[in-house]
Amino acid sequence: MSEWVTAFAPASIGNVAVGFDMLGLALEGAGDRVLARRIDNERVTVAEVRGLDGELHPYLSTVAESNTASIAAQAFWDDHGDTGSVELKVHKGVPLQSGMGSSAASAVAAVVAANGLLDTPVSVEALLPYALEGEKFASGGLHADNVAPSLFGGLVLCPQVLLPSVVHLPAPSGVSAALIHPDLQVNTAHARRGLAKSYSTRLWLEQQGLLAGFVAACHAGDIDLVARTLRDVIIEPQRKDNVPCFDVVKSAAERGGALGCSLSGSGPSIFALCRTSDARNIASAMEQACRSQGIGCESWVSPMNAPGARIEAA
Amino acid sequence: MSEWVTAFAPASIGNVAVGFDMLGLALEGAGDRVLARRIDNERVTVAEVRGLDGELHPYLSTVAESNTASIAAQAFWDDHGDTGSVELKVHKGVPLQSGMGSSAASAVAAVVAANGLLDTPVSVEALLPYALEGEKFASGGLHADNVAPSLFGGLVLCPQVLLPSVVHLPAPSGVSAALIHPDLQVNTAHARRGLAKSYSTRLWLEQQGLLAGFVAACHAGDIDLVARTLRDVIIEPQRKDNVPCFDVVKSAAERGGALGCSLSGSGPSIFALCRTSDARNIASAMEQACRSQGIGCESWVSPMNAPGARIEAA
């Protein structure tokens, strides 16, 4: 048996308001760690899953077929592993069902750690499909908007139609993300089933125009255009009632000068993009607004070019 | 009565495959001219409309309330005119109902010419809403994907949600447009009524991903990504059967190495984006394919940064 290799993968903001299922942003300051070592076994195994408190996790499974980390690592090892298999320890740093890409962070950290066991690791780009395998188990679909930013960092455009390729978008200079995680849980697969099955031409053209404008704004570093385009007219209206504090938190962000504010993934986390100089104050205002509704929360502030997953020194 | 001022406005490619109703490209080599002079009258009048052959036009109306040029000029003069009104001569260079933005070119040339009569002309950006008034009469909706590129030149992202603002996209270097106009007519308003009213989430997410990727590709100058994203999965399949030569022309363009090929606007014109070194050959191949179906045609080759409307020297 070899030494443990530790990989860290950050939390992420899915959808980023304008890009349902196809736009994601890495979030600095929260993430999962997965430790991997070689074992003389036929299949990937999970030795332990620990929670934020460091204790053994009360819900997440160590059954390899039911754990996003081991599913991802198994898919990777099937294609690239040499001999034996891999044992994992999963240390969750991203709260579950938070809308912060918790399952994606575990899947990404697992493949990065397993890759770190190889004498000749594959490129980071080649890891994406394996991390997606783990995420597919958790979310029920092939959506890369958490896996891709967690793996690569920064702001990533990753529509299904282009996978396994993704498009890295430049982060507009002077913009940061603020995120609060209200102490509520939303099940991603359940939230997805609640969405309408079709939309009017008018509505999807409006959303498509906002996304295209946002992509151009990021490339041009046009903060005013970021503010005019960072809106979700399709998904947010259908999901926001799952998050009782959403309206007051969004109002607080907007009063504080946020460029835009929406659910992170399917919630309950709520993010805002802000001028970097406003970001701390906006995060505080969002947190206060949430607590004013009797709901506890945590907050993070992150640059838009937060780094992606990496091996940590032993 | 003052001297005549002449404005030229180019033809344009609407939709550009990926951006239904919100993306347009100016086309060099074809356009309308509108001559304007001050008159002592209460309303804008149209002295004449001449066709491509220089003869008085057999169909287009000189009734000011039914002509896109005079409707646009009237709207402009109502807001910015000083005294009297404007007389127009419309010299069509863009074939009617060709999918080349014929009505948009007339409306744009009219407002640019009328603006040229003012002692202190307004900015070109301020002209867009007036040109749109004329286009609205012709096409039945507020779509800027021909007006905006004809006015500004180049490649313009102009979703309704952002109007009257538009986003100028950088033309990827080394890419040109080829366009053929088969000798067929398609009525834009009729083509629009034939479209489905709603679409599945899967389908619009696919198209939205392609558009967002294309915008990023233009900004990054990534020709491979242009080729992977320049596709219309929603509108082209519904409209292509109106253009009997479409499939063979598209196949010819693709065999010639086109980055993508689709209908221009609602057709019958068909455009391809190509590496500039391939553009002439691809235009010829498209023309030959069209003629092989017994349909006559004309072709154009244009850079992607073709200039927009302008006053011509007397």
**ipTM of the complex, rounded to two decimals:** 0.93
In the numeric block, the tokens 């160590």 are attached to A62
**Residue A98 and residue A13 in contact, taking contact as beta carbons nearer than 8 Å:** no
Residue A1 has pLDDT above 60, yes or no: no
Q: Is A300 helix (H, G, I), strand (E, B) or coil?
A: strand
Residue A174: pLDDT over 90: yes
Pair (A22, A93) in one structural domain:
yes
Q: Is A21 on the interface with B (CB under 8 A)?
A: yes
**Is B225–A198 a contact, with Cβ atoms under 8 angstroms apart?**
no
The domain of B247 spans 175-303
How confident is the model at residue B2, as a pLDDT? 75
CB contact under 8 A, A213 and B159: yes
Higher-confidence residue of A59 and B200: namely: B200
Do B200 and A197 lie within an 8 Å CB cutoff? yes
pLDDT, tens digit only, all 314 positions of chain B: 579 999 999 999 999 999 999 999 999 999 999 999 999 999 999 999 999 888 888 878 888 888 999 999 999 999 999 889 999 999 999 999 899 999 999 999 999 999 999 999 999 999 999 999 999 888 877 899 999 999 999 999 999 999 999 999 999 999 999 999 999 876 666 666 778 888 889 999 999 999 999 999 999 999 999 999 999 999 999 999 889 999 999 999 999 999 999 999 999 999 999 999 999 999 999 999 999 999 999 999 999 999 999 999 87
Overall residue count recorded for chain A in this entry = 314
Q: Is the pLDDT of residue A19 over 80?
A: yes
Total domain count, chain A: 2
Do B212 and A160 lie within an 8 Å CB cutoff?
no
- Strand bridging mode B167-169 / B260-263: unpaired
8 Å CB contact between B259 and B273: yes
What is the C-alpha to C-alpha distance for residues B307 and A84, in angstroms, rounded to an integer?
63
Contact: A159, B206; criterion CB under 8 Å: yes
Contacts of A24 in chain B (CB under 8 A): none
CB < 8 Å to A225, chain B? 167
Alpha helices in chain A (DSSP H): 68-80, 102-115, 124-139, 147-152, 188-193, 201-220, 223-229, 236-239, 246-255, 279-292
Same domain, B66 and B129: yes
Give φ, ψ of B104 to 5 degrees. -65, -40
Residue B10 sits in the same domain as residue B157: yes
Chain A contact set for B159 (CB, 8 A): 205-206, 208-210, 212-213
In B198-257, the residues whose Cβ lies within 8 Å of chain A are 198-201, 204-213, 215-217, 219-220, 225, 228-229
Number of A/B CB contacts below 8 angstroms equals 122
CB contact under 8 A, A159 and B200: no
Q: Tell me, what CATH number does B112's domain have?
A: 3.30.230.10
State whether A195 and A161 are in the same domain.
no
Same-domain check for residues A91 and A158: yes
**Residues in CB range of B202: below 8 A, 6 or more apart:** none
Question: Which of A20, A79, A211, A9 has its CA nearest to residue B157?
Answer: A211
Say yes or no: A159 and A14 in one domain: yes
Same domain, A182 and A125: no
What's residue B62's pLDDT? 83
Same-domain check for residues B13 and B151: yes
Is the Cβ of A83 closer than 8 Å to some Cβ of chain B?
no
CB spacing of A205 vs B167 below 8 angstroms:
no
A123 and A21 inside one domain: yes
- Residues A41, A124 within the same domain: yes
Start-to-end CA span in chain B (Å): 16
Average pLDDT taken over every residue of chain A: 94
Burial class (CB in 10 A: 0-12, 13-18, 19+), B82: exposed
Find the mean pLDDT for residues A214-221: 97
Shortest distance between the Cα of B305 and any Cα of chain A, in A, equals 17
Task: Please count the other Cβ atoms lying within 10 Å of the Cβ belonging to residue A279.
Answer: 23
Q: Tell me the average pLDDT across A200-207.
A: 93
How many Å lie between the alpha carbon of A217 and the closest alpha carbon of chain B?
Answer: 9
| pTM passes above 0.90 | yes
**Residues A165 and A98 both lie in one domain:** yes
* Domain CATH code at residue A271: 3.30.70.890
Amino acid at B225: L
B14 shares its domain with B163: yes
